[in-house]
Amino acid sequence: MRGLLSSAEAIEAHRLSCYISAEGAAVSDPSVGSGQDRNRVEDAIRTHSSPSDLRITDFRTAVVRSNYDYPLLRIDTNQGVSGIGEVRDAGHRDTALRLKSQLLGQNPCNVDMIFRSIKQFGNWGREGGGVSGIELALWDLVGKVYGIPCYQLLGGKYRDKIRLYADTPEPAEPTPASYAARVKGRMDLGLTFIKFDIRMPTYDRRGDLLVGEPTRHEYDHIRSRLSAAGTGQVTKLTDAGIASMVDVVAAVREAVGWEISLCTDHFGHGQMTAKEVIRLGHAVEPFGLAWLEDPMPWWDIDGHKRVTDAINVPTCAGEELYLWDGFRELIEKRAVDIVHPDLLTSGGMMETKRIADYAERHGLPAALHFAGSPIAFAANLHCAAAIPSFVALEHHGLDLPFWRELVAGLPPDYIEDGYVRVPEAPGLGVELNYPAIEENLRTPGLFGPTDEWDDPRVDFWQPDRLLDT
């Protein structure tokens, strides 16, 4: 029998004496034989685990087929503990794999050092997904090694449960009644904060709702979110078009009542000019919307400010912005009323907290954009818990039957009256459910070898100095 445990050993013993089942219940460590006393914590201690000697030995991926595919990440170490993360939804695993050479041999506990070395290789939108996903996996590793949940690594929490806002795709028939029924279905799930999409293509009927027609003979093989608003026929919406959008908002508000917070999306990305969004903002003001999301292209900070200053409905944007540096101008100009980072683009959990804290200093709260797997969902819960001026976290997987099963650690009834409890298990608090992931792979390969990415793909690389004279 060993002597008294140190505090670090006691934490490790507690962590390893329990596992989280797929249903979210604590179960005994299956590695302890049935003939042994499972209450002997010393049998659960990983005496070989030493954070100072921890090193990254491998980096592997798997892509889950979904409404927006989930490129999942796993960082392995020399001590048998792994950290998990993911590239942003509909992003590319290559944005993470190309950074593998920057990770191998590093101590994952040096999160800030690694982050500072790789963040130069990310960018706005999905190009920030590799850096951000790696950051999640590193914090997951640190939490597991030290036996604490990630929110503690972010400075602690301000709340035990996180309020969700539900994304609601537009109905097949874009009538006010259909929209109202779809949003009412979200309310019936217990959600108290609901977003619904009103896209310009929905109003693709010429003559009364839209003005003119799109410019012909434009190349369409390159998808870009860099076009200026008004490209093409400039003005698109007629008064009747504005009125039809107002009819949708009015029908939704009548269906759910005034106890539900509502917001709308998909006005930006160049679909509407600032003047058109301002017209719409004035028209929907009577319905008490929590926000209009992405009113202008993501890069047009002054355009956002123009809209924000002109209407009384709050504005919300930021899902495409990368790092604190990318948010600085938006925040300092108070170009929106609510900052809206997606932590799989903005740089991960710690960077997103920095962004939210800086926004708070300028009088702006933060909501979190999210459309990924339960892995990043857990990361968002930890991050949201650590943000003082927080609004709500998006959930984009409510209609996917397999979504929850992709991990172990998320119980069937994880949503309670529109809120989700912050995980208390070490790290992110969830683990990969390999059978469920394998059933939903986009392409074959369940965290298979990635040796071809071992050599550097970024930064300076000189394989040898044979010709260096």
Question: What does the pLDDT look like over 198-235, one tens digit per residue?
Answer: 876 555 555 688 887 778 887 775 556 778 887 777 77
Selection from 151, 168, 190, 328 nearest residue 248 by Cα: 168
In this predicted structure, which of 86-90, 233-237, 326-330 has the lowest mean pLDDT? 233-237
pLDDT at 228: 83
pLDDT at 211: 82
Which has the higher per-residue pLDDT, 15 or 385?
A: 385
Question: pLDDT at residue 29 above 50?
Answer: no
pLDDT at 238: 87
What are the structural domain ranges in the chain? Answer: 53-148+433-448, 153-214+226-430
Q: Record the tokens describing residue 223, joined without a space.
A: 């998808």
pLDDT tens by residue, 375-395: 999 999 999 999 999 999 999
In this predicted structure, which of 129-143, 188-202, 216-230, 433-447 has the lowest mean pLDDT? 216-230
* Residue 257 host element (H or E): none
d(CA 363, CA 389): 9
Altogether, the residues listed in the chain come to a count of 469
In this predicted structure, which of 311-320, 359-368, 392-401, 457-466 has the lowest mean pLDDT? 457-466
First and final CA of the chain: distance in angstroms? 63
Average pLDDT over residues 31-58: 61
Average pLDDT over residues 74-79: 97
d(CA 119, CA 354): 15
pLDDT at 395: 97
pLDDT at 223: 59
d(CA 325, CA 36): 55
Question: pLDDT at residue 318 above 90?
Answer: yes
- Beta-bridged to residue 382, according to DSSP, are none
Question: pLDDT at residue 300 above 80?
Answer: yes
d(CA 377, CA 383): 10
Q: Return the CATH number of 153-214+226-430, one of 3.30.1330.80, 3.40.50.300, 1.20.1250.20, 3.20.20.120.
A: 3.20.20.120
pLDDT range class, residue 21, cuts 50, 70, 90: very low
Selection from 25, 36, 153 nearest residue 427 by Cα: 153
pLDDT at 204: 57
Average pLDDT over residues 110-117: 98
Whether residue 160 contacts residue 149, with contact meaning beta carbons closer than 8 Å, is answered with no
How many CA atoms lie within 13 Å of 363's alpha carbon, on the beta-carbon side? 6
d(CA 237, CA 116): 45
What pTM does this model have?
A: 0.88
Q: What is the CATH T-level fold of the domain 53-148+433-448, as seen in this structure?
A: Enolase-like; domain 1 (3.30.390)
In this predicted structure, which of 87-91, 166-170, 228-232, 444-448 has the lowest mean pLDDT? 228-232
In this predicted structure, which of 66-75, 98-107, 171-180 has the lowest mean pLDDT? 171-180
Average pLDDT over residues 49-72: 94
